[in-house]
Amino acid sequence: MFGTTFFSVVPIRCEPSETSEMISQLLFGELIEIVEQAEKWLQIISLWDGYQGWVDRKMITEITKDEFDSLNKNPKTITLPIYTKIIDDQTKYSQLLPAGSVLYNFDFEKKRFFSLSKSFIVDNYDNSLSNAGIADIAKQFLNAPYLWGGRTYFGIDCSGFSQLIYRLKGISLPRDAKDQAMKGNPVNMIHEIKSGDLAFFDNEEGNIIHVGILIDNNTIIHASGKVRIDKFDQQGIFDETNKRYTHHLRMIKRITD
């Protein structure tokens, strides 16, 4: 069984309970595979990044294999701005979609897209970031609050942030920092850093617990309390306000050439 969502954001929980921690989120238009059902809950796998968890059944539109195949092969547009306003053709109700939402069969001239039996008008589509660099795209998220499991401007965690920014450039990354660290090629010297490289940080046990996007060889943008820009060097991230290092550098990876 398969599904998608017409909600702007859907929480993915660790267990089938409203009180279970949120471990990630689905965004509008993303496709899922349904692997188990438990009363009002569905255990799903996100087909974007392979993440697995539980979602409220009411927030999912279940689809057939044929409908899934049709959507999966249709042209897709990933929304780039912080939010995109759309209007349901039938109900005339509007909603705001977060950056990274999926629009199927989007007609740029008519500002309209179609998904299954539903059609929508895009009220304010902005493609101005399409040629921007990774660091410049990341800066539009400055001051977004930190939220464990979050993937939108209204709440995002460190690995959700790096994953989403790369997604807006058409590049797929795993959901968690430790898995993102397995991708790309190592950058061994600080002076070799390029804008958009990923820096990973570990704890005292050597486990990778944080990731950020390098702007250059001495500044980084990352989600820690909020999306912020801090100083960076071979030791790690330095918080100038409190005059201390907050994260210990483990490695730097280049995902793109």
Query: Which of 51, 70, 89 is the last residue in one of the domains?
Result: 70
Do residues 56 and 37 share a domain?
yes
Do residues 141 and 98 share a domain?
no
pTM listed for this prediction: 0.95
Do residues 175 and 86 share a domain?
no
129, part of any domain: no
Do residues 232 and 194 share a domain?
yes
Do residues 186 and 221 share a domain?
yes
CA-wise closest residue to 41 among 5, 68, 2, 12:
12
Do residues 116 and 200 share a domain?
no
What pLDDT score was predicted for residue 125?
Answer: 81
47, part of any domain: yes
What pLDDT score was predicted for residue 257?
Answer: 58
Range(s) of the domain holding residue 101: 75-122
Do residues 146 and 226 share a domain?
yes
What pLDDT score was predicted for residue 74?
Answer: 87
128, part of any domain: no
What pLDDT score was predicted for residue 192?
Answer: 95
127, part of any domain: no
Distances (CA, A) of 193 to 19, 169, 197, 208, 214: 42, 19, 7, 20, 8
Q: From the candidates 14, 191, 222, 247, which is the catalytic residue?
A: 222
Do residues 55 and 104 share a domain?
no
Here the CATH number for the domain that contains residue 149 is: 3.90.1720.10
**Which of the residues in the chain have pLDDT under 50?**
none
Query: Which of 122, 145, 160 is the last residue in one of the domains?
Result: 122
Is 14 known to be catalytic?
no
| CA distance linking residue 151 with residue 90, whole number of Å | 29
Contact 79, 97 (CB under 8 A): yes
| DSSP 8-state assignment for residue 143 | T
Here the CATH number for the domain that contains residue 14 is: 2.30.30.40
**Number of compact structural domains in the chain:** 3
What pLDDT score was predicted for residue 26?
Answer: 98
Do residues 14 and 112 share a domain?
no
Q: From the candidates 14, 158, 191, 248, which is the catalytic residue?
A: 158
Is 210 known to be catalytic?
yes
Do residues 230 and 145 share a domain?
yes
Is 222 known to be catalytic?
yes
Query: Tokens standing for 83?
Result: 């939010």
Query: What is residue 191's three-state secondary structure?
Result: helix
What pLDDT score was predicted for residue 130?
Answer: 83
